[in-house]
Structures are given as structure tokens and as C-alpha cells.
């Protein structure tokens, strides 16, 4: 049985979910370098929709456990550093009078690297916690849950149209 209406519905649902993921990630402030936003996509495979994104989208959605790889070897340090710069994070440093001030990245790259390394070390050791107060975590699951009933209705209607078309084609034969 051919299912043109169901295929069209699957494509529309996939496009809508990807659009919602991008919009919510941006609204939650998860857009620093733009790589997460650009990475959301979909692929229609057989009778399924496969939605994909950067690996860390899952970490933002559900949290993570401790890291299992070497941070320098896997390139995490440079990605983390790029993210921290894009977010405008700056380390605190102590001046010659003992006062704490924000370090300037251009003048103090080693202090900046130390800050990034400390942040990465904590995330690598403890992972990213899933905390109820952090509305950023679980944003993918939230969208899927909100859309679940609508998706069922869309697919049911599309399949119904395909069945009707199939039955009509049988009567004509």
C-alpha cells in the first residue's frame, strides 16, 4: 500500500519538531556558537523519523554522568573554550593590590585557559546534573511530550486518507 499522505505528514512533523527544537534552544539561551542550532535535522527512514543533533544536545536534555574520555585528546577543551568565549565568560583574577577583577582574555590567555580547564574538569568528573530548577534541561523531552497527542492525530488522519484512497482504488479494479 502506498502512503503518500502519511509520508507527507511524517515530513511535516519532522520539520516542525526540528524548528521547535531550534527555537526553544535559542529561547533558553543555549545558542552560543550556533553549532547546536545548525545541527538539528531529520532523516526519514522507512516508516520512521530520525531526528539528530550535536552529541551534547542529549547532555543538555537529560544531563550526563562523568566523562569516559581524555578531555584534551577528544578536543573537548577547545570546544569548551570556544563556547565560553561565545558566552562571554571571563575568569576572575587577583590584581597586585589583592582585589578581584575580571581578566581580559586578550591580555591573559593562560588565566582564561585555567578557568576553562577548571570548568571542564568539574563537568568531566561530575557530569551535568539534571536539576528541576534548571529549565534548560529536558527541553527536547518537553517538546516531544507536548506534541505527542498532536502527532498521533496528524498521523491517524494521514493514514486514514491513505486507506480511503487504497479502498477506492480497489473498487475501481
pLDDT in tens, the chain (173 residues): 788 999 999 999 999 999 998 888 888 777 777 788 888 899 998 888 998 887 777 777 766 777 666 555 567 778 788 888 888 787 777 777 878 777 665 556 777 788 888 888 887 787 776 645 555 557 888 888 889 999 999 999 999 999 999 888 887 65
Number of domains within the chain: 2
Q: Give the H or E element holding residue 42.
A: strand 41-45
Name the residue range of residue 12's domain.
1-64+130-173
The answer to whether residues 2 and 59 belong to one domain is yes
pTM reported for the whole predicted model: 0.69
The answer to whether residues 151 and 167 belong to one domain is yes
The answer to whether residues 123 and 134 belong to one domain is no
The answer to whether residues 79 and 119 belong to one domain is yes
The answer to whether residues 47 and 105 belong to one domain is no
Tell me how many degrees the CA angle 168-49-38 measures, rounded to the nearest 5: 135
The answer to whether residues 105 and 119 belong to one domain is yes
The answer to whether residues 56 and 78 belong to one domain is no
Phi-psi region at 64: left, alpha or beta (left = phi > 0; alpha = psi -120 to 50)? beta
The answer to whether residues 12 and 45 belong to one domain is yes
Amino acid at each position: 500500500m502506498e502512503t503518500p499522505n502519511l509520508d507527507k505528514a511524517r515530513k511535516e512533523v519532522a520539520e516542525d519538531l526540528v524548528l521547535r527544537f531550534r527555537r526553544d534552544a535559542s529561547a533558553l539561551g543555549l545558542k552560543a556558537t550556533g553549532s547546536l542550532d545548525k545541527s538539528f535535522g531529520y532523516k526519514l527512514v522507512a516508516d520512521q523519523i530520525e531526528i539528530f543533533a550535536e552529541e551534547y544536545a542529549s547532555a543538555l536534555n537529560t544531563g550526563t554522568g562523568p566523562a569516559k574520555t581524555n578531555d584534551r585528546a577528544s578536543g573537548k577543551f577547545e570546544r569548551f573554550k570556544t563556547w565560553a568565549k561565545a558566552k562571554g565568560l571571563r575568569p576572575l583574577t587577583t590584581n597586585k593590590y589583592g582585589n578581584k577583577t575580571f581578566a581580559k582574555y586578550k591580555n591573559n590567555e593562560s588565566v582564561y585557559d585555567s578557568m576553562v580547564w577548571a570548568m571542564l574538569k568539574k563537568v568531566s568528573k561530575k557530569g551535568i546534573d539534571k536539576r528541576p530548577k534548571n529549565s534548560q534541561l529536558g527541553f527536547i523531552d518537553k517538546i516531544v511530550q507536548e506534541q505527542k497527542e498532536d502527532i498521533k492525530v496528524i498521523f491517524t488522519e494521514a493514514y486514514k486518507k491513505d486507506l480511503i484512497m487504497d479502498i477506492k482504488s480497489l473498487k475501481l479494479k
